[in-house]
Structure 1
Amino acid sequence: MDIVVRPKILVVGAGFAGVECVRRLERKLGPDEADLALVTPFSYQLYLPLLPQVASGVLTPQSIAVSLRRSRKYRTRIIPGGAIGVDVKAKVCVVRKITGEVVNERYDQIVLAPGSVTRTFDIPGLADNARGMKTLAEAAYIRDHVISQLDIADASQDEAERASRLQFVVVGGGYAGTETAACLQRLTHNAIKRYPRLDPKQIKWHLIDIAPKLMPELGDKLGRSALDIMRRRGVDVSLGVSIDKAGPEEVTFTDGRVIPTRTLIWTAGVAASPLIATLGAETVKGRLAVTSEMCLPGHDGVFALGDAAAVPDEAKDVEGAVCPPTAQHAMRQGKHVADNVIASLRGQRMTPYIHKDLGLVVDLGGLDAVSKPLGVELRGVPALIAARGYHWSALRTNVAKARVATNWVLNSLAGDDFVRTGFQARTPATLRDFEYTNAYLTPEQIRKRVEAG
């Protein structure tokens, strides 16, 4: 009797790119055509753009964590763990399961969508004292941390301690940093009314960025509008400035200022997942160099997309342009790479990825927003409608849409709450702890594992 072995397609990462790829593969591939597996430490897809609203308490964590197991038709095998190395020659992906067990997952086709991690620099004290805004755990931790600073300051008799606990520093004037500072500033502004022993003037938020403009991708006019909104709220925005060193109780800026603070939130860009470095392949600024079809040159059956891949931007008439690491590109690349995987399995022609950027939307909390959908500049309520409408429509399930809409309505009617869960009060909370950046193998370690069988 002949035994038919179905090819195995392994997708790494359950972000926008990975989940969209898996969903399309399930719809378009027959059960007998291939076996599907997804490597992810969490059985949910995180809607990353709304993390600042989780940190500020406008949304609950569950509302933006969309379960991968809701569909009864779901046939993809979920491998609960993180990919820590790939041998593209042997076609083996090394996975560390959430139990700590390390296993070799063999594949015929692999789709690499491991996403990105917070980009850091060799700044003294940064890795040990900064917090990111890249994971659900980080957002939950930062919310607890900010509220705890108010609680401790309220109970303290030491004026110096109060001053350091009531100052907050956010590094990164891009989309994530600006929204994070805006949403959390609004949280503390509303919370201080419940702390009659604290002077509202003592609360100070600092937003700094080494770039000369705030959110330059929005253009000069909208960037200035966002800057005006932040400064009107009392946020001290410093451009052309970064961190010189970070300590547990103070931060030194590159312009010489020393800010007493216990809160440093680092959102100064992203870098491709360290998994990419384990392949030993060509990269472009850390992102895997791929073709317009999102294939790795010289290696059949290896695809990469999203934040971890330098996908050529064919919609721009600029030599060497690559797609930016945004959700809208990741979602569309996920669908397109699935079509190319199917085409390669069926011996058909693969097609290049082409998508014109739809613009950016920025929700600054309350009625403040700036948006540029399809090149149209919006401010205030129209911009807020565009921002929330886009995010709501991009959520993958009706349940997630209902939860987010309900949270928005409830927050607008009842206001903020200032509950501190305390779940992570006794756990490590560095960037490495949240994003596991020190968990990856070297190419030599991967080769030894594969050879050992």
Structure 2
Amino acid sequence: MARPRIVIVGAGFAGHQAARTLSRTARGRARITLVNPTDYFLYAPLLPEVATGVLEPRRIAVPLAGSLPGVELVLGQARRVDVKGRQVSVTDPEGREHELGYDRLILSVGSVNKLLPVPGITEHAHGFRGLPEALYLRDHITRQLELADTAEDPAERAARSTFVVVGAGYTGTEVAAHGVLYTADLARRLPRLRREEPPRWLLLDVAERVLPELDPRLSRTAANVLTDRGVRLRLGTSVAEATADGVRLTDGSSVPTRSLIWCVGVRPDPLVDELGLPTERGRLLVDEHLAVPGCPGVFACGDAAAVPDPNRPGEYTPMTAQHAVRQGRLAARNVAASCGQGAMRPYRHRELGFAVDLGGPDAAADPLHIPLAGAAAKAVTRGYHLASLPSNRARVAADWLLGALVPRQTVQLGLVRGSVVPLENTSPETPVLPRSPGDG
């Protein structure tokens, strides 16, 4: 009998874990195909350390070809899924479109930047979802301070030295915590800025505390670290309008700045809506086995799927990496079971706690719901990341060790040409960067 073809769409946390599991358990029994726009799995929790020069970018980019034996990689973006005809339409990096047939399908397309109807956001805000955006942001921050150092106008110098982060969840909190250390380090090396006030960072959120989704004790730890470093917390506040010269806030005040960093959150990939299937807040509804009702052979997991939460009846699991990894593993096992290998299992999980890296010696963590701060939390956080990384552990640990012994490099890589990469044109899957002066 012909081997069934299993197609996995998306190599984020859920898709990569599904592919790894099938590579180990179904290799030789099935033809496994992974569709992804890039040839790597991105370990996104360490993006703030890439953006601030702590880690080299390839440390958190795990090659798909080398880490998934027996899995065929198809580079491209899935544009349409025909669940009746069992076909996936894929556009490759050069714009050519072709069809992939499947017997079983795992949809793990992940999420994209969450945009709000705020004037000027798509034109003037920097997203923070992928490697290109992290590298671009590092260049942008470095350039702004170097230009500020040579600016004769005090107002221009202040605007270029001001950085506004919108969203005080995981990403925004970590970006602000790492970013203020990076700019303080760089400013000390610039002759004019070293004699003035340190660069200013603002963290905005409509919530009343940072990390509103976590235990209040972790929120207090993070808030204390941020305020001790000089980050201004503007809670209960967001952006009403963005321009090239600054932002107007919902409380009526204005902040002159050239740097607006958008970390408001994520939404499921638009491919989910195009399926025409039942959704919950943009996420594809699935049953307890991660199967899509009414679509034989189709499973979904990760940010793209609304998975019933057995610990909270009537609710769905949040969009976190912990859930995505577990769901990817279960989706692979249930797909194998649907092909006659093993039995279907429902989704179950036990919360292990959370970890937030705040840069330098600081972190906030609650492993097994035991709140930690300072060095203990830092050790837990870095240990968790090393354990979760599929590869490159030694290189990441080496970068951390070097970072503790030698100063970080604060140079531009030549990615910045214009003033901004429009937020609407960027995502972790399909990055669009401005051409650098050397591109001809």
TM-score range, shorter chain: over 0.9
Give, in whole Å, the separation in 2 of the partners of 1:280 and 1:29. 30
Given that 1:218 and 1:372 are in contact with CA atoms closer than 8 Å, whether structure 2 keeps it comes out as no
| Equivalent position SS for 1:45 | strand
Report the alpha carbon displacement of residue 432 of structure 1 after superposing the two structures with TM.
2.8
Answering whether residue 350 of structure 2 is matched by residue 353 of structure 1, we say: no
1:418 aligned residue: 410
The Cα of 1:237 is off from its aligned counterpart by: 0.5
| C-alpha spacing 1:40/1:392, structure 2 compared with 1 (3 Å) | same
Q: 1:27 corresponds to which residue?
A: 24
Alignment partner for residue 405 of structure 1, among 397, 405, 408? Answer: 397
Aligned residue for 1:191, secondary structure, equals: helix
Q: Note the C-alpha offset of 1:284.
A: 0.9
Letter in 1 for 2:352: L
Change (3 A) 1:438 1:47: closer
Partner of 2:175: 180
Number of the residue aligned with 1:37? 33
Q: Deviations over 1:321-340 (max 9, x none)?
A: 21111111111111111110
Q: How far is 1:425 from its partner? A: 2.9
Q: What does residue 153 of structure 1 align with?
A: 148
Q: Name the CA distance, whole Å, in 1 between partners of 2:27 and 2:268.
A: 33
**Contact kept? 2:37, 2:430, Cα under 8 Å:** no
**Alpha carbons 2:184, 2:198 under 8 Å: kept:** no
Q: Which amino acid aligns with 1:93?
A: V
Out of 75, 78, 93, the position equivalent to 1:80 is 75
Identity %: 43
Q: CA RMSD in A?
A: 1.7
Give 1:368's aligned amino acid.
D
2:163·2:259 contact (CA, 8 Å) conserved in 1? yes
Gap runs ≥5 in structure 1: 440-453
Question: Using the alignment, how far apart are the partners of 2:244 and 2:419 within structure 1?
Answer: 16
Separation in 2, partners of 1:79, 1:118: 24
Q: Which amino acid is 1:310 matched to?
A: A
Query: Is the 8 Å Cα contact of residues 187 and 198 (structure 2) preserved in structure 1?
Result: no
Asked if the contact 2:181/2:359 (under 8 Å) is kept, the reply is yes
Partner of 2:119: 124
Number of the residue aligned with 1:296: 292
Distance 1:221 1:427 in 2: 39
Shift of 1:428: 6.7
Q: Is the 8 A contact 2:38 2:429 kept in 1?
A: no
2:16 aligned partner, one-letter code? V
1:379 is aligned to 2:379: no
1:146 partner letter: I
CA offsets 1:206-239 (integer angstroms, 9 cap, x no match): 0000111111233222211211111111101011
One of 184, 189, 203 as aligned partner of 1:189: 184
Q: TM-score, normalised by structure 2?
A: 0.94
| 2:304 aligned partner, one-letter code | A
How much has 1:427 moved relative to structure 2? 9.6
Counterpart CA distance in 2 for 1:41 and 1:249 is: 34
Aligned to 2:421: 429
* 1:312 and 2:308 are equivalent in the alignment: yes
Structure 1 position 393 matched with structure 2 position 387: yes
Q: Distance in 2 between matches of 1:438 and 1:45?
A: 14
5+ residue gaps, structure 2: 432-440
Q: CA deviation at 1:254?
A: 0.3
Aligned partners of 1:51 and 1:139 also within 8 Å: yes
**More deviation in 135-144 or 422-431?**
422-431
TM-score by length of 1: 0.92
Matching of residues 259-338 of structure 1 within 5 Å: 259-314=255-310, 316=311, 318-338=312-332
Question: How many angstroms apart in 1 are the aligned matches of 2:222 and 2:30?
Answer: 49
Q: In the alignment, which of 251, 255, 259 is matched to residue 255 of structure 1? A: 251
- Code of the residue aligned with 1:127 in structure 2: it is T
1:382 deviates by 0.2
> Compared with structure 1, are the counterparts of its residues 428 and 227 closer, same or farther at alpha carbon in structure 2 (3 Å cutoff)?
closer
Query: What's 2:212 paired with?
Result: 216
Matched, 1:143 2:138: yes
Q: Distance in 2 between matches of 1:166 and 1:108?
A: 55
> Aligned match of 2:8 in 8, 11, 23?
11
What CA distance in whole angstroms lies between the structure 1 residues aligned with 2:371 and 2:325?
24
* CA displacement 1:77-115 (0-9 Å, x = unmatched): 111111112121111111111011121222111100111
Determine the structure 2 residue equivalent to 1:445: none
User: Aligned-pair distance for 1:426?
Assistant: 5.5
Distance 1:283 1:437, change over 3 A: farther
> Contact 1:167/1:202 (CA < 8 Å) preserved in 2?
no
Following superposition, the deviation at residue 313 of structure 1 comes to: 1.3
Preserved contact between residue 245 and residue 257 of structure 2 (Cα < 8 Å): yes
SS at match of 1:84: strand
Say if 1:74 and 1:241 are closer, same or farther in 2 by CA, change over 3 A: same
Query: In the TM superposition, what is the alpha-carbon distance from 1:381 to its structure 2 partner?
Result: 0.3
